[in-house]
Chains A and B, each alone.
Chain A
Amino acid sequence: MGEFLQQLWNGLSIGSVYALVAVGYTLVFGVLKFINFAHGSILTLGAYIALLIALQKVVPFQVAMGLSMVLSGFFSMLTEQQVYKKLRVKNAPRLNMLITSIGISLLVENAIVVYFSADYHIYPRIMSGVPIQLGEVLIPPVDILLVVGAIILMLALWFFVNRTLTGLSIKAVSMDRDASSLMGINVNRAISVTFFLAGVMAATAGLLIGMKFSVNPALGGLFGLKSFSAAVLGGIGSIQGAYVGGYLIGLLETFGAGYISSNFKDAIAFILLVLVLLFKPSGIFGKGTKEKV
């Protein structure tokens, strides 16, 4: 029982990270209908901006992390305004947007490798490393911050999208871009805000990974892809789907690694992705789309 609870906690803590990243994929897919391959690299960028600011030794690490979240959000927004928008107004094929997002991820990762090197980097410790014992379960303090912080952020995002005017405009744009533009919604602004929110969430995930493990420039690839699997599992385009999908992937991966084999831990998410796409491509919460001629 003790081991089961321990795995459950581990799965929840890593699942929080996947959920944070997955919601970014879902938001961007909602408004632009394309898979943003650069989203994973925003996660890496967030993790490294904090490190960069911390290395200047001007502000404490907590402030550096806050700055990093905002700056990554702005970077994400900038990629949309300077790059994707130019393709969007030209009515470029969706494939071109996909390739361009690969280009952005290449730019971010190469820039980090050039500045920092391709090695692993460790964050300065801001919390005690002594795990808290809860019954038979050992919980590192950083895990509590991770789970609670992620849940607060997710609730905040849910509230923003469903209860504020700007959030509702994002929802409207993801339902029908042309119609919402006719209704007087500033579509470009809604898309920019979406990218900003997605960037902040991804950067937070990167920071949490950095505090729990370590960071390296290739971090975003694997985490991004698993989170994308989570978004598809939950139903791409649905925010609560991304949350549920993230936690499901986290739990399945930890239990798979704990009870079956840890060697193929990374493969579990992708096998799940293929199965979902085969049997229920709309995911758990997604609505099926009709193919129109």
Chain B
Amino acid sequence: MAHTENFRKVAEVGDIPLGEGEGFDVGGIEIAVFNTGDEYYAISNRCSHQHAPLCKAGERKINAEDTWTDERGGVDTEACTVSCPWHLWEWDLETGEHEASGQRIGTFDCTVEDGDILVRI
């Protein structure tokens, strides 16, 4: 249990569908946890550009059937990135880096134990 010291449960496996994310307020810090299939990743919930909530990446667009893609931003499970729902800034889920600008947002240790998704802030 030592390796999960200071980790806190935010959700259970199955709560966050593959390729999607969920936002959590952990003691006043907003994080978004994404499920890429192989792993869960925890990252700051706010894009550094204009503070968009990253947990909404992949949300279905209004009248998506009349546009050419269904979602606002979203998770790329292969590249292990999330695109911001407002302006598509692409954030590396492991490093928190936006390649084009070199900016970084916070990432947090995230692990699964006994069916629980745990995060360390």
Partners in one complex: no
Which B residues are within 8 Å of any A CB, using their own CB? Answer: none
What is the interface of chain A, defined by CB distance below 8 A to chain B? none
